[in-house]
Structure 1
Amino acid sequence: MSIHHTHNDLHSEQGALAGEHPGRAQHPVIKVRDLAWLEFEKPDLDGAEVFAHAFGFATSFKGPDELHLRGTLPGTPAVIVRRGARSRFTGPAFLAADDADLLRLAGHLDAPVTPLPEALGGATVDVRDPSGARVRVVTGCHPLPALPGQEPLVHNFGGRRPRVNTTQRPRREPAKVERLGHVVLQTPRYRETLDWYLENLGLIVSDFLFYEGQRSRGPTMSFIRCDRGSEPADHHTLAMTLGPRARYVHSAYQVADLDVLAAGGEFLKDAGYQRSWGIGRHIQGSQIFDYWRDDKGFLVEHFTDGDMFDNTLQPGWAPMTASGLAQWGPPATADFMGIKPGRESLAEARSFLSALRSSDNEFDLTRLRGLLKVANS
């Protein structure tokens, strides 16, 4: 296997220094193929469905206590919402390559293989990562057929002008979600949790970020992709960041192109929903992004034109700053950074104290100073 060590003009300013985290396990138990779906609980399934349709999901199943939301591409649902007393994220589901991998993982983690409900089909191994988050690894689910999508526009660029005697009029309508792209999670046990995903699910790191002045203490955020060998995978399927408590940060869903993303944003704005941050283009992953708050305040992202890497690319390393989150676009907002006054930022502030008082995590006073520096960078 040919390994790319340089990161000039690729995806990060520099590679690893001697002795730093390699970004992959030498002998993982299995290698998951993708992120299958995300699971939430909400008390109001009808309200969840109204926002979901405005955001661009289609409903693939709805019962009295469960809602499945999907994109246009074939496969599994992207999001499953179950009725609950309060709104919360309950965990991700990853797609195993086959039944044999599921059995291998079950044996290694001493967890049972159990059937999924008939609406999904297939089987799952349910475990907890070191942060306490429930993680499902699934296989054999009923495949959903493709739905009609939105075609990218034909553009006239430079000397290439394929569009003649035709105007551009993208419709102001929901940006149809094509598929689930990634989920971002925060954990106070970052290194232990990162290694758990690499060793058990075979994920590999695309990029590490570190607090400025604290690189010698190791990374504090990682963008992690599936290892499909020579077949390219999304730059990150899972991103993980150090913080004072374990929590969902955001999830991202692919749409057809920039015009679909922008027109879909205008539709959401007209419908009264809150844009959190956008439109811009990220650095790590390169996605064009647009972030919104759903009906219960969960942060969700439309994205398009993301990076795809095979397993030969080694991790990049870069300092973690708010200004380093985008190549272009408006500055990261207080809402996106989690420092806008409100219930969520208050809960995060309270968790600082509990994390600092506990020795059973990696979030200490030095890390707190680094995080506060990021928020004000």
Structure 2
Amino acid sequence: MAVEIPAPVDLPASAHSDLHSERGALRREHPGRARNPVVKVADLAWLQFEKPDLDRAETFARDFGFTVAARTADGLRLRGSFAGTDAVVIRRGPTSRFVGPVFRVDEPADLERLARHTGSRVRPLGAGRAGSIVDLVDPSGIPVGVVHGAEVHAELPEQVALTLNTGLTPRRINWPQRPAREPARVQRLGHVVLETPRFDSALDWYLDTLGLIVSDFLFLPGQRELGPTMAFLRCDRGGVPVDHHTLAMLLAPGLGYVHSAYQVTDLDAIAAGGEYLAERGYRRAWGIGRHIQGSQLFDYWRDPDRLMVEHFADGDLFDASLEPGWAPLSASGLAQWGPPVTRDFLGATPTPARLREVVDALRREDTELTAGRLLALLKAMSS
């Protein structure tokens, strides 16, 4: 069924002029897409993690709003309420860590073409599981899977959006508003954010190999001529609207996972679900607010192993016609409204592990992170 997207005719011309997010590229800047990618992935399928304590992981997952699709002695598969594949796959492992993302393609021929191009092979997804997968590694060293034919779960009952009275359009008469204090029911996986000291190489790989396209670039103030420092990438499905970003990437000392995001029904689901999490002793990392790039309502939490996860709602949808925006990177530019961004969210606390990452990143032969760019990044994250 076609989706009719209304034109934003009610927005004044200067609605976001101070945010710069709609300003395009200058001459000879990165185009934000590949001319002839190997394949065009349709979406994220699921994210892969390892956890030493699956009981604790399952408890948090249920409190966060996931539905358990399957549980074994050595694995946990989580899903949302929308029809679709698993959203998260957790294997038992010695430490809590992010393994990598798995993307989905629409045609089996895409897997064959991807395998030929990369020197990989198409293999069965696993014992007792439908589907085939190609295993890849991006230039940062992060494992990336591309799958076709995986099991699709039937839809589940939804957390119904509340009926709102808005201005001169009352819809709720003699009917008090009482949102339930319950988990914000996850509908689907939205995106994952990764950091890498090999930003340019990884960015081009995701565009050239998987056919992702850039929605927004962020650059360090005063260093635009050096290129972007962060990119928000979406899937290219032609005229079909998709999330503003499925993958976001940041030039940083660390390598790998920053956070992952999961769609819920609306702001009340985010807020009431947050109260539910707080009552159970979990820690909020940042929120509630509304982003600039992507426009999502957001709320960030730490799981028991300190991995960051996000509830979001009301995100932007773009088709393939929209060219990338360019904006300066700053901490204050991460949200239109909400509480000040926290050091926890920014990963700016100078822990021994973080300091080791900085030293290691600057010493790497293949690093794209120089001391000058690191200092500019630190300055931007405090502005």
Q: TM-score, normalised by structure 2?
A: 0.94
Matched, 1:338 2:347: yes
**Runs of 4+ in structure 1 displaced over 6 angstroms?**
none
For residues 237 and 9 of structure 1, the distance between their equivalents in structure 2, rounded to whole angstroms, comes to 25
Structure 2 partner of 1:368: 374
Structure 2 partner of 1:104: 113
Q: Letter of the aligned partner of 2:135 in structure 1?
A: D
How far apart are residue 196 of structure 1 and its match? Answer: 0.2
For residues 36 and 120 of structure 1, the distance between their equivalents in structure 2, rounded to whole angstroms, comes to 14
Structure 1 partner of 2:335: 326
* Structure 1, gaps ≥5 residues long: 1-6
How far apart are residue 162 of structure 1 and its match? Answer: 1.2
For residues 254 and 260 of structure 1, the distance between their equivalents in structure 2, rounded to whole angstroms, comes to 10
For residues 232 and 370 of structure 2, the distance between their equivalents in structure 1, rounded to whole angstroms, comes to 22
Structure 1 partner of 2:3: none
How far apart are residue 361 of structure 1 and its match? Answer: 1.1
How far apart are residue 346 of structure 1 and its match? Answer: 2.6
Structure 1 partner of 2:357: 351
Structure 2 partner of 1:219: 228
Q: Letter of the aligned partner of 1:164 in structure 2?
A: I
How far apart are residue 375 of structure 1 and its match? Answer: 2.3
Task: Pick from 305, 324, 333 the counterpart of residue 314 of structure 2.
Answer: 305
Q: TM-score, normalised by structure 1?
A: 0.96
For residues 266 and 129 of structure 2, the distance between their equivalents in structure 1, rounded to whole angstroms, comes to 30
Structure 2 partner of 1:168: 177
Q: Letter of the aligned partner of 2:41 in structure 1?
A: V
Q: Is the 8 A contact 1:61 1:119 kept in 2?
A: no
Secondary structure at the aligned position of 1:104 is classed as helix
Secondary structure at the aligned position of 1:376 is classed as coil
Structure 2 partner of 1:280: 289
For residues 60 and 199 of structure 1, the distance between their equivalents in structure 2, rounded to whole angstroms, comes to 33
* CA separation of 1:212 and 1:83: change in aligned 2, threshold 3 A: same
The Cα offsets for residues 198-255 of structure 1, whole Å up to 9 and x where unpaired, read as: 0010000000001111100000000000000000000000000001131200000000
* CA separation of 1:294 and 1:235: change in aligned 2, threshold 3 A: same
Structure 1 partner of 2:124: 115
How far apart are residue 263 of structure 1 and its match? Answer: 0.1
The Cα offsets for residues 16-62 of structure 1, whole Å up to 9 and x where unpaired, read as: 00000000000011100000000000100000000000000010011
Secondary structure at the aligned position of 2:202 is classed as helix
Task: Pick from 17, 22, 29 the counterpart of residue 26 of structure 2.
Answer: 17
Secondary structure at the aligned position of 1:121 is classed as strand
How far apart are residue 8 of structure 1 and its match? Answer: 6.5
For residues 171 and 127 of structure 2, the distance between their equivalents in structure 1, rounded to whole angstroms, comes to 48
For residues 76 and 273 of structure 1, the distance between their equivalents in structure 2, rounded to whole angstroms, comes to 27
For residues 292 and 78 of structure 2, the distance between their equivalents in structure 1, rounded to whole angstroms, comes to 29
For residues 128 and 283 of structure 2, the distance between their equivalents in structure 1, rounded to whole angstroms, comes to 32
For residues 289 and 69 of structure 1, the distance between their equivalents in structure 2, rounded to whole angstroms, comes to 21
Matched, 1:207 2:216: yes
For residues 9 and 93 of structure 1, the distance between their equivalents in structure 2, rounded to whole angstroms, comes to 37
Structure 1 partner of 2:87: 78
Secondary structure at the aligned position of 2:271 is classed as helix
How far apart are residue 118 of structure 1 and its match? Answer: 4.2
Task: Pick from 67, 81, 86 the counterpart of residue 76 of structure 2.
Answer: 67
Secondary structure at the aligned position of 1:116 is classed as strand
For residues 166 and 142 of structure 1, the distance between their equivalents in structure 2, rounded to whole angstroms, comes to 41
Matched, 1:127 2:136: yes
* Structure 2, gaps ≥5 residues long: 1-12
